[in-house]
Amino acid sequence: MSMMSACILTYAFIPEQNREAKLMWLALMASILTLRFVDFIVWITHSSKQAKPSGQLGLWRFSVGCILTAMCWSAYALLFFKSMDIIEFSTTVIIIAAMAGGSSTVLSGSQYLSAVYSIIMLLPISIMGLLAEQDYRNLLGILGLLFCATMVLSGLKSSRFTRQAVTTKNEYAILASELAEKNSEVYNTNKMLKEATDKLNEIKVGLEQEVKKRTDKIFQLSNLDELTGLTNRNAFTRELENLIEKTVDSESSVALLFIDLNGFKKINDTLGHQVGDLTLIEVGNRLAAFTEQNRCGRWGGDEFLVALPYSSQETATSIASAIMTSIAQPMAIAGNELHLSATIGIALAPVHSLNAADLIQLADLTMCEQKQLGLRKPRVFSTELKSKIEASQIILEGLQQALDKKQLYLCYQPIQCAKDNTSWSFEALLRWNFNGQFIGPDVFIPLAEKSGLIKEIGAWVLNRACMDARHWQFNQLAAVSVNVSVIQLMDDGFIRILDNILRSSGLPPERLHLEITESVFVDNEKKIRAQLEQIQSRNIHVSIDDFGTGYSSLSQLQTLPVNYVKIDKAFVDNFENKGDAIIRATLFIARELNCKTVAEGVETKEQAMALSAMGVDYLQGYYFAKPMKNEDLIVWQNPISNFPT
């Protein structure tokens, strides 16, 4: 049994980091058990040859073997305690407890050996569990100590009983001839045996009940989220399936709320994961107030699920609004007053689906759509949303084949020098002709980023733009500006791809400008800055696109390795209504930091002249030219001959 248990425990839980150690432990256990088996064979052989064998030496060897076995089991708990997960730890405790429980009977011939065996087996792992940080280990540690004490007492009692039984047997053999006179004594002895047996049976029943309690507790822990105490993903899905089945039988409905926190990432990044964990616990407590505990779960990260049986669409929407209000209340966490909001998507069974996984997905899609739109109210899944999702899926599937079908192409919009109206650069703009239908970049670029296609498409855009610019005979000094996604910049292979494109196209690096939005620094400022420094070292220029509309604003400019700042079209359009003040502030800081400026969205002569007078270095917009295909650039003539004045 020891060998079988050791093999099961080793091969059932053998991660890569502990593989060699566990195999060495198993080899040690096998060696000890092999020596004990050989010793047993030797003892049997010698005993059969002697009329009255002496058992003292055999008893001593047997005791040493038992102690070594117990120490080997204890060593397993000590060596691998820290790396055990809940399943391995629980299994280890159960196996060791079972082995110790069996020893109270098997080793009852020696009260000391029985007690020492149980103590060595159970005491170390129980103490370590009691001192551990996890609640479930504390609980199992307490139970282990109690069980250890029970086994020691049980062993002592079993030992006394065994000694009495042996004594009774010897006396019975000696007094067999006086059987008639000793019937009463035999009756009393049998009565004692029965009482002892009943007591052993009671102990066995108690142990079985204790094991059942532990098993139930372990099952409970395996179904709860360790951090928040809510049901975990698997347990919640099972509960939702049960609710849906009851819904069908009772002809009622169940509403599922998919909840995503807004602003949690910022808390995690600025205040640390410990504060983030405490925040999630507080959110879990607030959500639990709206339903039973097993119907409120954590899906993962900062996403939660709430199931509301017997709820109509109106009821679910009202409860969702109340949940949003509750989460929006200030949270006092570790001396900080934190503020969060939530986005909630709702799906109902049986209206939308009778499958738990599908219902969760529909609520998730609804939440994502609501979050993308920036709307601060719960939303119920609808056929309209379904049609929109299906349309997005069609576009996504088409985008996956757009490069192979040569449906993507580039247009170029000139960026003019404000001083002499010469073409300084041309911005490459991606266009898509999807089976005769024009799909705007605002539609397919987010899909490409979400699906991961942006890396492949972005590399194609870079390569195509560099190849085109290399062959511009009409202006061999003009640069080409290419927009780069944050996903591309975060890719470890982006610099290598950039080098290969420059090498294959032959375009001088100084004629390539990369445009990024300032929001990229929110995701991983350190990584992005390192990438930009490598780009700058190759004499490739970098522009911040849509400056002032993202997260970094003017304070980021002092540390960014950039060459140009592009003033967003929104400020140019609002020139007459305080937009000029923002432009002047941007110009001032850009000059102080040796950055050139580009104004986007110039559509009138008045705007062009005003921006030029303010000191903007370069201008771009429909006033000069709309985006055009590469072949049209060759014959393009700038019609704005009277600018500047």
* Residue-level length of the chain: 645
Mean pLDDT confidence for 54-72: 83
Mean pLDDT confidence for 590-609: 91
Distance in Å from the first CA to the final CA of the chain? 99
CA distance linking residue 233 with residue 223, whole number of Å: 8
Note whether 186 and 333 are same-domain residues: no
CA distance linking residue 455 with residue 452, whole number of Å: 6
Residue 463, pLDDT above cutoff 90: yes
> 147, 100 in Cβ contact below 8 A?
yes
What would the pLDDT profile of 86-118 be if each residue is shown by its tens digit? Answer: 888 888 888 888 888 877 778 877 778 888 888
Eight-state DSSP code of residue 550: S
CA distance linking residue 102 with residue 158, whole number of Å: 12
Question: Which tops the pLDDT comparison, 468 or 7?
Answer: 468
Domain boundary among 188, 222, 256: 222
Domain membership of residue 438 (yes or no) is no
Mean pLDDT confidence for 70-97: 85
Pairing label, strands 564-567, 596-599: parallel
Note whether 361 and 495 are same-domain residues: no
Strand segments, DSSP code E, in 387-422 are 408-417
Band (pLDDT 50/70/90 cuts) for residue 53 is low
Domain membership of residue 465 (yes or no) is yes
Maximal C-alpha separation, the chain: 139
> Inter-axis angle of helices 135-174 and 86-106, to 10 degrees?
10
Cα–Cα distances in Å, from 139 out to 93, 130, 152, 449? 11, 7, 20, 47
Mean pLDDT confidence for 314-335: 94
The predicted pLDDT at position 545 comes to 83
For residue 607, give the H/E element and its range. helix 605-614
CA distance linking residue 32 with residue 289, whole number of Å: 56
Please tell me the pTM assigned to this model. Answer: 0.52
CA distance linking residue 458 with residue 515, whole number of Å: 12
What would the pLDDT profile of 218-266 be if each residue is shown by its tens digit? Answer: 766 678 988 998 999 999 999 999 999 998 888 899 999 999 999 898 8
The predicted pLDDT at position 51 comes to 53
- Residues of the chain above pLDDT 90, percent: 40
Residue 533, pLDDT above cutoff 80: yes
CATH number of the domain enclosing 502: 3.20.20.450
Domain membership of residue 245 (yes or no) is yes
The predicted pLDDT at position 342 comes to 95
**Radius of gyration in angstroms for the set of CA atoms belonging to the chain, rounded to a whole number:** 38
Contacts (Cβ under 8 Å, ≥6 apart) of 207 = 101
What would the pLDDT profile of 612-632 be if each residue is shown by its tens digit? Answer: 999 999 999 999 999 999 999
Cα–Cα distances in Å, from 645 out to 174, 330, 528, 612? 134, 58, 41, 10
CA distance linking residue 409 with residue 428, whole number of Å: 10
CA distance linking residue 602 with residue 584, whole number of Å: 16
> Inter-axis angle of helices 233-250 and 356-373, to 10 degrees?
110
- Burial degree of 86 (CB within 10 A; 0-12, 13-18, 19+): middle
The predicted pLDDT at position 275 comes to 93
Domain boundary among 203, 222, 241: 222
Note whether 8 and 86 are same-domain residues: yes
Domain membership of residue 439 (yes or no) is no
The first and second tokens of residue 537, run together, are 């070292």
The predicted pLDDT at position 641 comes to 45
Note whether 217 and 302 are same-domain residues: no
What would the pLDDT profile of 186-218 be if each residue is shown by its tens digit? Answer: 788 888 888 888 888 888 787 878 877 776 667
Range of the domain at 569: 409-431+448-635
Band (pLDDT 50/70/90 cuts) for residue 642 is very low
> 571, 577 in Cβ contact below 8 A?
no
The predicted pLDDT at position 620 comes to 95
Mean pLDDT confidence for 128-154: 84
Domain membership of residue 561 (yes or no) is yes
CATH number of the domain enclosing 304: 3.30.70.270
Note whether 112 and 54 are same-domain residues: yes
Domain membership of residue 398 (yes or no) is no
Residue 142, pLDDT above cutoff 60: yes
What would the pLDDT profile of 344-361 be if each residue is shown by its tens digit? Answer: 999 999 999 999 999 998
The predicted pLDDT at position 521 comes to 55
Other C-beta atoms closer than 10 Å to the C-beta of 24 total 11
The predicted pLDDT at position 638 comes to 52
**Residue whose token pair is 């067999």:** 176
The predicted pLDDT at position 645 comes to 44
Domain membership of residue 375 (yes or no) is yes
Note whether 548 and 614 are same-domain residues: yes
Note whether 84 and 184 are same-domain residues: yes
378 CB-side CA count, 13 A: 24
Note whether 598 and 496 are same-domain residues: yes
Residue 580, pLDDT above cutoff 90: no
CA distance linking residue 521 with residue 564, whole number of Å: 16
Band (pLDDT 50/70/90 cuts) for residue 26 is confident
- Residues of the chain above pLDDT 70, percent: 93
Other C-beta atoms closer than 10 Å to the C-beta of 9 total 22
Band (pLDDT 50/70/90 cuts) for residue 552 is very low
CA distance linking residue 216 with residue 3, whole number of Å: 27
Residue 506, pLDDT above cutoff 90: yes
Note whether 205 and 282 are same-domain residues: no
The predicted pLDDT at position 553 comes to 46
Domain boundary among 158, 188, 222: 222
DSSP code per residue over 96-158: HHHHHHHHHHHTTT-HHHHHHHHHHHHHHHHHHHHHSSSHHHHHHHHHHHHHHHHHHHHHHHH
Q: What total number of domains does the chain contain?
A: 3
The first and second tokens of residue 205, run together, are 């029943």
Question: Residues 601, 603, 607, 608: is their CA dihedral positive or negative?
Answer: positive
Note whether 266 and 361 are same-domain residues: yes
Tell me the average pLDDT of the chain.
Answer: 86
Beta bridge partners of 258: 305, 345
Domain membership of residue 392 (yes or no) is no
Note whether 238 and 218 are same-domain residues: no
Note whether 217 and 239 are same-domain residues: no
